[in-house]
Structure 1
Amino acid sequence: MKLKLTAIILTYNEQINLPECINSIKEYTDEILVIDSFSTDRTIEIAKSFGCKTYQNKFINQAKQFIWAIENTDIKNEWILRIDADERWAKEGFDELKKIIEADSSDGVYVKMKIFFMGRWIKHGGFYPNYFLRVYKKSKGKIEDRWMDEHIKVEGKTIISNIDVIESNYDRQKNISLWTDKHNKYSTREAIEFLIAKHNLKEMDTVANFWGNKTERKRWLKEKLYFHIPLFLRPFLYYIHRYIFKFGFLDGKEGFIFHYLHAFWYRFLVDVKVYQIEQLAKKENKTIPEVIKEHYGIEF
């Protein structure tokens, strides 16, 4: 059962994860594009061995890489599936997606992300069910041009499905330093995203609206609430919210590690970088973008 569906996978050194990802979708998608950021491992070789169309482009952030893929590759299908290399689809998910596509009554599909960490499903803490729009019609949708936490916006009708997509980075289960390295990079982009909003450095392309769709509601909670909590206090409140009030403690030792790292590694590191960038801007009498470019090598 192949659907008229094009899967787009963004990669960088994903030789561990990529085979499982492709195996989970190859029987159900008739086109797979791998957009690589000049990997130094066997990622491209593996992608080609599965018959995927491969492209390479310099990485800036996920949003810009995905936008590049849409604008610069020969996509043959109207329906697009966005999938990360550490994600897997099950047959049951494609069975439901087939019915949705054949009914042609929607332009975008929300799926439920089912996160596994150190081999354990993170069922609590507000992480499940957590809905993301991952399948959409190319003519109806586009991805936000943001540094972090980008979403796909659809002009038309969307549907909330019962499809579970597993996120399980098998390599990082075995080496936690790879998880922290990954989130160190994420924290830089998250800090930039916060500074853009705080200092009005560019116009945001998604309206924050508590009464809007899921994307707009998430944006409202983040920009109107979380962004206004003082630096360094935010990670503590985040942890209490996730681990206590959202019952993250029910996920055992792995859940404790997961929620603790998200709050006091990732979120705290974001605040440290925000603080440091703002202090350097004052000390060196430079703009925020100038400091980011000089000290992080990132231009926007």
Structure 2
Amino acid sequence: MTAPISAVILTYNEENNIKDCIDSVYGFAEEIFVVDSGSKDQTLAILSGYENIQVINHPFENYSQQRNWAINNLPFSTEWILNMDADHRLTPEFKQDVTQRFQTGISSNTNGFLASRKTIFMGKWIKYGGHYPTYHAVLFRKGFGLCEDKLYDQHFKVEGEILKLKGDIIDLITESLSTFTLRHDKWSNLEASEQFSNTDYNEKVIKGSLSANNPIAQRRMLKNIYQKFPLFVRPFIYFFIRYFLRLGFLDGTRGLIFHFLQCFWFRFLIDAKIYELKQKQREQGAD
């Protein structure tokens, strides 16, 4: 059964991902929009094989601006917007839960839904280390949700009540270790820049709170606490908590690779780049 939602998918050179992504949402969402930022591979050719998919080209500045441009400018005919990336796959349980909620009726007070991502790394589900469930606001009413104006680690902020969905969204976070490390090297530049500049975010950013009935706000608060620890010390603490205390070692060899790279290497790289920025600032000050 088709749900009265509009799916928005961002793409750039996603020929290896886009077909499976589209297939998981095709026939479920009432309409599908693909916002492409100049793909040079076969992404657009693959999309041309589908009927009733609207492909719009829009230059990419950053993830937040691309998301918010789509939310504010696409000609949606439905009240609900589903946000996806090309490496996401909707599970049958997700689609069944959403369909049932629309059939039974959604309260006017409810403006959004959270779904957990099921991370697949090197073909394995990363189940432990505090990595599952990890909830994200993926579905919300038009006019009640926007992407945070941040360079990295952006979430959708929804005004009003948000509820958890039962089904997951599969997140294939890497095609290869080379792709994984290259992406995280790029993201470490963004995160280091934000932490170094100590950006003062506006009201459109989710505030951290352990007491809030919102897992995104709770994770943001834990991240705020993490950032108060000294550089180069905090990656060791974080890895120890995730891998040992939160049982990341139960994910096996591929889990070891993932947790080490994501929980330690990536965080250590961010700290090293913050240190580099501070060194440059000192050198400029000395001049």
Aligned to 1:289: none
Q: 2-side partners of 1:20 and 1:78: how far apart?
A: 25
Which amino acid is the alignment partner of residue 160 of structure 1? K
Q: 2-side partners of 1:166 and 1:182: how far apart?
A: 19
Q: TM-score, normalised by structure 2?
A: 0.92
> Are 2:37 and 1:33 equivalent residues in the alignment?
no
In structure 1, the gaps of 5 or more residues are 287-300
Q: 1-side partners of 2:48 and 2:189: how far apart?
A: 32
Q: CA deviation at 1:18?
A: 0.6
Aligned to 2:146: 142
Q: Deviations over 1:112-167 (max 9, x none)?
A: 11111111111100011111111111122222111111111221221112111111
Aligned residues: 280
Out of 99, 103, 106, the residue aligned to residue 104 of structure 1 is 106
Q: 2-side partners of 1:5 and 1:210: how far apart?
A: 31
Native 8 Å contact 2:242 2:263 kept in 1: no
> Are 2:8 and 1:8 equivalent residues in the alignment?
yes
Q: 1-side partners of 2:192 and 2:37: how far apart?
A: 22
Which amino acid is the alignment partner of residue 116 of structure 1? I
Are the structure 2 counterparts of residues 176 and 78 from structure 1 closer, same or farther at C-alpha, using a change threshold of 3 Å? same
1:61-210 matches, cutoff 5 A: 61-102=62-103, 103-105=105-107, 106-169=110-173, 172-173=174-175, 175-196=176-197, 198=198, 200-203=199-202, 205-210=205-210
81-90 vs 203-212, greater mean Cα deviation: 203-212
Q: 1-side partners of 2:201 and 2:219: how far apart?
A: 19
Once superposed, what is the RMSD of the aligned Cα atoms? 1.7
Q: 2-side partners of 1:140 and 1:202: how far apart?
A: 19
Please identify runs of 4+ aligned residues in structure 1 that moved more than 3 A: 200-204
1:47-62 matches, cutoff 5 A: 47-51=47-51, 52-62=53-63
Q: CA deviation at 1:202?
A: 4.8
Which amino acid is the alignment partner of residue 188 of structure 1? N
Q: 1-side partners of 2:201 and 2:217: how far apart?
A: 18
Q: CA deviation at 1:265?
A: 2.5
Q: CA deviation at 1:264?
A: 3.3
SS at match of 2:165: strand
Q: Which structure features the higher share of helix residues?
A: 1
SS at match of 1:163: coil
Q: TM-score, normalised by structure 1?
A: 0.88
259-268 vs 21-30, greater mean Cα deviation: 259-268
